[in-house]
Amino acid sequence: MTNSSHTLLRQIKVLDPVANTSIINDVLLGSGIIQAIDTHLDNIPPETNILEGKSLILAPGLMDLYSYSGEPGYEERETLESLAASAVAGGFTGVAILPHTQPPVDNLATLSYLKQQTRSISSVKFEFWGTFTQGAKGEQMTELGELAKAGVMGFTDNRGLENLGLLRRVLEYLKPLKKPLALVPEFPSLKGNGVMREGYFSTTYGLTGNPSMTEATAVATILEMVAVMQTPVHLMRISTRRAVELIAWGKARGIPITASTTWMHLLLDSENLSGYNPNLRLDPPLGNPEDRLALIEGISQGIIDAIAVDHRGYTYEEKTVPFAEAPSGAIGLQLVLPLLWQTLVEKGSLSPLQLWKALSSNPRKCLGKVVNPIKAGHPLELIIFDAKKTWTVSPSTLKSLNHNTFWLGQEIQGQVIRI
């Protein structure tokens, strides 16, 4: 290749989830924008780098709605630098960080620290959720206006519902601020000590069950509150068939909600827990088989708007414990696209555009962002994906500081080759 500032992608499949098109085109990139795009380009600058696009896909960079940073407080789990490296390797050009650092993002000082730490990271645009309550049990509201003015992306407590009276006040205060509010639909008192979804498999495997009504009753409660308050809400980590049904009901009545599930809930279910792999200990737990199928259908129908990564690194020592004692969470930024493509797109459960919408344009819309189609003159935020390239998930290929994933040691198909 030459040192030209222009690159021509010759006959590459262009997926545009905004325009809802999938077309093989020539694409000329340069000076930070799409210079030209057409079925065939002849007039290209001299010494242009040319990449043959056969079998490759060009599409918008992915956006993760929520993942964890270990920094500050738990740098042995993940740093912002390692998180950025994982994101780039997985095709994510934007990542929204959950506020549960140490100290949490419930004050201006922590938010300022995180923004300062990410100024030198140009490969990924980090944004930060702030908490909407403070205290061990969330007994008082944070300074919502101050955090919003300081540039927090939105607000989430990232935990189940406990104080509904306070939540009502938060809905009132946040409405004029025009910042996203994300809620975890779960009643902890119903969850109890459950470590997997209640049902046939929890009985068979001898693990304490977490009933699906833990989520369903919370979704129903949020729908009733939002219907009255009319403050838009995003529902995080949807994991059950009943929740999908309730969300469809709410959307049909014009209640201002969006919803996301996580990638692992689309790939695996409670039947996969027979090996008691602690990397499958999640919160909410993997659903039963009928839940997983309902979530896939929810994505295909647009009931579930987005797929989140919920990337959470843990050290080997933290995760190498009995299943019921393991902390909840797994890494995923580098694995989401290839595994979802391999499992859902290639088997016909989702179309390429449906998957890309759920991973790219829809997450941005959930955050209130304007999303543009792919066309000449627009800034670059694109990735090239090789759906056929195989690689082995190993400590040497993973960019995360830790390797707590069910797929460690396995060969998978699909890799982002340029961002």
Strand partners of residue 133: 141
**Domain boundaries along the sequence of the chain:** 61-366
Residue 305 has pLDDT above 60, yes or no: yes
Q: Which of 177-186, 191-200, 373-382 has the lowest mean pLDDT?
A: 373-382
Structure tokens at 209: 């069950």
Give 3-state DSSP helix, strand, coil % of the chain, rounded to 5: 35, 25, 40
Residue among 357, 195, 412 at smallest CA distance from 283: 195
pLDDT band at 1 (very low <50, low <70, confident <90, very high): very low
Rounded mean pLDDT, 34-51: 90
Residue 380 has pLDDT above 90, yes or no: no
Phi-psi region of 361 (alpha: psi -120 to 50; beta: other; left: phi over 0): alpha
- Phi, psi (deg, nearest 5) at residue 127: -130, 160
Would you say 333 and 89 are in contact if contact means Cβ atoms under 8 Å apart?
yes
pLDDT band at 32 (very low <50, low <70, confident <90, very high): confident
Residue among 80, 137, 132 at smallest CA distance from 106: 132
Rounded mean pLDDT, 273-281: 98
Instruction: Please give the pLDDT value at position 391.
Output: 98
Rounded mean pLDDT, 72-82: 97
The pTM assigned to this predicted structure is 0.96
What residue type is 315 in one-letter code?
T
More confident residue, 372 or 412: 412
Residue 2 has pLDDT above 50, yes or no: no
Residue 3 has pLDDT above 50, yes or no: no
Rounded mean pLDDT, 132-149: 90
Instruction: Please give the pLDDT value at position 419.
Output: 83
Kindly report the average pLDDT of the chain as a whole number: 95
Instruction: Please give the pLDDT value at position 4.
Output: 63
Q: Which residues of 340-370 are buried (b: 16+ CB within 10 A; e: fewer)?
A: bbbbbbeeebbebbbbbbbbbbbbbbbbeee
The percentage of residues in the chain with a pLDDT greater than 90, rounded to a whole number, is 91
Q: What is the dihedral of CA 194, 266, 75, 161, to 10 degrees?
A: -50
Diameter over CA atoms, the chain: 68
How far is CA 402 from each of CA 250, 278, 331, 409, rounded to the nearest angstrom?
Answer: 39, 14, 8, 14
E-assigned strands of 309-361? none
- Phi, psi (deg, nearest 5) at residue 110: -65, -40
* Residue partners of 177: CB distance under 8 A and separation at least 6: 144, 145, 148
- Active-site annotation holder among 26, 64, 310, 386: 310
Residue 12 has pLDDT above 60, yes or no: yes
Give the span between the Cα atoms of 86 and 88, in whole angstroms.
Answer: 6
Model pLDDT for residues 93-131, shown as the tens digit of each residue: 999 999 999 999 999 999 999 999 999 999 999 999 999
Model pLDDT for residues 402-418, shown as the tens digit of each residue: 999 999 999 999 999 98
Rounded mean pLDDT, 12-41: 94
DSSP 35-90: EEEES------TT-EEEE-TTEEEEEPEEEEEE---TTT-TTT--HHHHHHHHHHH
Q: Which CATH architecture has domain 61-366?
A: Alpha-Beta Barrel (3.20)
Task: State the sign of the Cα–Cα–Cα–Cα dihedral 401, 407, 412, 414.
Answer: negative
* Whether residue 310 lies in the annotated active site: yes
